[in-house]
Structure 1
Amino acid sequence: MANQVEVLLTDELFEFLQKERFVTIATVDHETSGPNVSAISWVFAPTKETVRFAVDNRSRIIENIKGNSQVVLNVIGNESTYSISGTASVKVEKLEEVPLKLALVEIQIKEVRDVMFYGSKISVEPQYEKTYDKEAAEKLDNQVMTAMKKA
Structure 2
Amino acid sequence: MAETVSQTLSEDLFALLQQERFVTLATIDHETGAPSLHSLSWVYAVSAQKILLAIDSRSRILANIEKHPEVVIQLIGGGSSYALNGLAHVKTQRIEEVPLKLALVEMQIYAVRDIMFYGSRISADPQYEKTYDKKAATKLDQQVMAALRKAELT
The TM-score bracket by the shorter chain reads over 0.9
- The equivalent of 2:126 in structure 1 is 126
Q: Residues 56-67 of structure 1 correspond to what in structure 2 (within 5 A)? A: 56-67=56-67
> Equivalent residue for 1:117?
117
Q: Which runs of 5+ in 1 are unaligned?
A: none
* Alpha-carbon distance in 2 for matches of 1:129, 1:5: 31
Matches within 5 A, 1:72-151: 72-151=72-151
- C-alpha deviation, 1:29, in angstroms: 0.2
Q: Cα distance, 1:134 vs. partner?
A: 0.2
CA contact (8 A) 2:4 2:111 kept: no
- Measured in 2, the distance between the counterparts of 1:111 and 1:84 equals 6
User: For the aligned residues, what is the CA RMSD?
Assistant: 1.2
Cα gap change, 1:85 to 1:4, in 2 (>3 Å): closer
Please list every run of 5 or more consecutive structure 2 residues that lacks an aligned counterpart in the other structure: none
State the alpha-carbon separation in 2 of the partners of residues 58 and 110 from structure 1.
Answer: 27
Q: Hey, which bits of structure 1, 4+ residues long, moved more than 3 A?
A: none
2:67 alignment partner AA: G
Query: Which residue in 1 is equivalent to 2:51?
Result: 51
CA distance in 2, matches of 1:83, 1:101: 28
Q: Deviations over 1:38-76 (max 9, x none)?
A: 000000001001011101111010010011100000000
Partner in structure 1 of residue 22 of structure 2: 22
For residues 85 and 3 of structure 2, what CA distance do their matches in structure 1 show? 15
- For 2:38 and 2:24, how far apart are their aligned partners in 1? 5
> Number of paired residues?
151
TM-score (norm. length: structure 2): 0.95
* Deviation string, structure 1 residues 93-140 (Cα, Å, up to 9, x no partner): 100110000001010001000110111100011100000000000000
Q: Give the residue type in structure 2 aligned to 1:26.
A: A
Letter in 1 for 2:21: R
Residue type of the alignment partner of 1:116: M
Distance in 1, Cα, partners of 2:92 & 2:126: 29
Are residues 1:32 and 2:29 paired? no
Q: In 2, distance between residues paired with 1:136 and 1:39?
A: 20
Of all paired residues, the percent bearing the same amino acid is: 56
2:3 & 2:122 partners in 1: Cα distance?
Answer: 16
